[in-house]
Chain A
Amino acid sequence: EIVLTQSPATLSLSPGERATLSCRASQSVSSSLAWYQQKPGQAPRLLIYDASNRATGIPARFSGSGSGTDFTLTISSLEPEDFAVYYCQQRSNWPSTFGRGTRLEIK
Chain B
Amino acid sequence: EVQLVESGGGLVQPGGSLRLSCAASGFPLSSYQMNWVRQTPGKGLEWVSYIGASGTPISYADSMKGRFTISRDNAENSLYLQMNSLRAEDTGVYYCARDLVAGAKGFDYWGQGTLVTVSS
Contact = CB atoms under 8 A, between A and B. Distances in A.
A48 B105 CA distance: 9
Interface residues of A, number: 23
Contacts of B78: none
A87 B110 contact: no
Contact of A96 (B47, B62, B108): B47
A96 B106 CA distance: 10
B45 interface: yes
B59 interface: yes
Contacts, number: 55
A60 interface: no
B106 A49 contact: yes
B7 to A, nearest CB: 15
Interface in B103-117: 104-108, 110-113
B62 to A, nearest CB: 7
B110 A44 contact: yes
A95 B108 contact: no
Nearest to B64: A95
Interface residues of B, number: 19
Interface in B61-115: 61-62, 95, 97, 100, 104-108, 110-113
A98 interface: yes
A34 B110 contact: no
Nearest to B112: A43
Contacts of A48: 106
Contacts of B105: 32, 34, 49-50, 91
A22 interface: no
Q: Which 4 A-B pairs have the closest CB atoms?
A: A49-B106, A43-B110, A34-B106, A98-B45
15 contacts: A34-B107, A43-B95, A43-B97, A43-B113, A44-B95, A48-B106, A49-B100, A87-B44, A89-B47, A91-B104, A91-B105, A95-B61, A97-B47, A98-B46, A101-B45
